[in-house]
Amino acid sequence: MRNSRSDVVEAALRVLDDHGLEFCSMRRVASALEVQPSALYHHVPNKQTLLALMADEIVRGVATTGEDPAAVCRSLRGALLSIRDGADVVATASAFRLGASSVEARLAQLVGADGARTLLLYTFGQAQATQTQMQAYAIGALPDYPRGDPAGDLAGGFDRGIAIILAGLEASGR
């Protein structure tokens, strides 16, 4: 069976969700596809490109229509939390400027380039912290979460942080 680039990205996302970013190697992705690692390089030139394609797939469904930057950030947070280490993948791709982010472009239209970058960095950081906390609870490294779902409980703090950033942008004339 011949694999496509989308097959490689799909397999990489499965490996990511099963093993985390630390263990998402080209060798492991190739194994998931039952091919030799060299076969992957027919579809992606290097791991950085694969990482960018994974990030694009993670954020593909983010709602960027509408005029509410907070809604865009909530949608992005949901996408990042939908897959293990999704926040790390997307934040890394963004930091390395691997590809162009339609989410960042839309936020820049709504709040300017500096505001967009600030909202993105806050969203990435908060989603990474949420994922770390959820993983720690899942493996028993932290006591049982006292109120149920840490992702849901942390969403309230996320919304308050977004509101603070947006208020600051508005106060500064953005």
pTM of the predicted protein model: 0.88
Domain enclosing residue 100, as ranges: 55-171
Q: How many domains does the chain have?
A: 2
Question: Which of 35-49, 61-75, 135-149 has the weakest average pLDDT?
Answer: 135-149
Per the listing, tokens 């992705």 go with 29
What per-residue confidence (pLDDT) applies to 173? 80
What per-residue confidence (pLDDT) applies to 137? 79
Residues 76 and 39 occupy one common structural domain: no
What per-residue confidence (pLDDT) applies to 146? 57
Q: Which two tokens stand for residue 64?
A: 């960027």
CATH of the domain at 4: 1.10.10.60
pLDDT digits (tens, 9 = 90+) for 151-164: 556 667 899 999 99
pLDDT digits (tens, 9 = 90+) for 125-171: 999 998 888 888 778 887 765 555 655 566 678 999 999 999 999 99
pLDDT digits (tens, 9 = 90+) for 87-120: 999 999 998 887 667 899 999 999 999 999 999 9
- Give residues with Cβ within 8 angstroms of 90, minimum separation 6: 55, 58, 59, 79, 80, 124
Whether residue 50 lies inside any domain: the answer is no
Tell me the CA distances in angstroms from 154 to 28, 41, 93, 130, 174, one per residue in order: 32, 40, 24, 7, 27
Q: What is the mean pLDDT of the chain?
A: 90
For the chain, the 3-state helix, strand and coil shares in percent, each to the nearest 5, are 70, 0, 30
Q: Is 94 exposed, middle or buried (0-12, 13-18, 19+ CB in 10 A)?
A: buried
